[in-house]
Amino acid sequence: MTQYLVFGHKNPDTDTIASAIAFAYYLNQKGHQAEAVTLGTPNEETAFALDYFKAQAPRVIESAAGTGAHVALVDHNEASQSIDDLAELTVDYVIDHHRIGFESAQPLYYRCEPIGCTATVLYKMFGEAGIEIPAQIAGLMLSAIISDSLLFKSPTCTPEDVDAAQALATLAGVDAQVYGLDLLKAGTNLASKSEETLLNLDAKSFDMNGHQVRIAQVNAIGFSDLLARKEALLKAMQAEVEAKGYELFLLVVTDVLDSNSFGLVVGQDVSALEAAFGQKVVDQQLELPGVVSRKKQIVPPLTDSYAAR
């Protein structure tokens, strides 16, 4: 019997935590001994889902070397987004839906599909294995799809995500639209959070052709509250750039109801960002109409822009 720790990326979002819980259950049903853990505290949206479906949050870990456990990664594969001692661990599984930046010297089970959510990949795996999904886990997986797809509005959302969500909603005994709106609203309570907290709610680091880029995203209802904090946010972003050595830090603020975004930008050279989106950064701000997905609408054009330099 193999022991597994199952976890997603740093600054965990709802898909990361829900998928860790779901895949740990899957592995246990397959005869292994698996525990879902997390690399950070759940955000308010995820906490809402956990509370609604009466699920316990996974324990937080900072390292896994020396535990004797093998590792299953969900909702990420890039080392820069994972646990700090990943190079010392044996990774047997990767279940993901992002670009592939994973290297391994040994064979492993790797499943990555170009769909909207890791939980959708897992929904398919449960079906293929003939494993029934308990109502509680179905509710968490539904929450993950709603979160990643912004209630099916994101361009990353596919018919497979919608079909999985509807099936999971039935298993969980909820209305996907009604519950989904409540879930998204729970994640937009930003007034009480510090600038440093906002910048790390949902942030990922990327190596783009040798350039270190940090992209954070915050969901909101309307832009006025965060625009009023623009100078404080930029100051906190500058501090992160100086401390971590990022060449570019982009904070994307997304209105989850209107499906529009704007970006705040810190970096000595923003020409790659301007080329990626065909417009100038003005007063450290970039308008991003119709942009809601970091994975599909921000990372690819910015990666291409850096690659062309």
Average pLDDT over residues 204-223: 94
- How far apart, in whole angstroms, are the C-alpha atoms of residue 229 and residue 226? 5
Phi, psi dihedral angles at 233 (to 5 degrees): -65, -45
**Tokens 């904070």 belong to which residue?**
251
- How far apart, in whole angstroms, are the C-alpha atoms of residue 109 and residue 234? 41
Q: Exposure pattern of 72-82 as b/e (b: 16+ CB <10 Å)?
A: bbbbbbbeebb
202 neighbors 13 (Cβ within 8 angstroms): yes
Partners of 219 in beta bridges: 254
- How far apart, in whole angstroms, are the C-alpha atoms of residue 148 and residue 42? 15
Instruction: Name the amino acid, one letter, at 95.
Output: I
Summary mean pLDDT of the chain: 95
| Residue 67: per-residue pLDDT | 86
- How far apart, in whole angstroms, are the C-alpha atoms of residue 5 and residue 37? 7
pTM: 0.82
| Residue 1: per-residue pLDDT | 67
Give pLDDT tens digits for 152-186: 999 999 999 999 999 999 999 999 999 999 999 99
- How far apart, in whole angstroms, are the C-alpha atoms of residue 268 and residue 285? 14
Helix (H) or strand (E) segment spanning residue 34: strand 33-38
| Residue 201: per-residue pLDDT | 87
Domains along the sequence of the chain with CATH: 3-188 (3.90.1640.10), 195-308 (3.10.310.20)
Give pLDDT tens digits for 221-257: 999 999 999 999 999 999 999 999 999 999 999 998 8
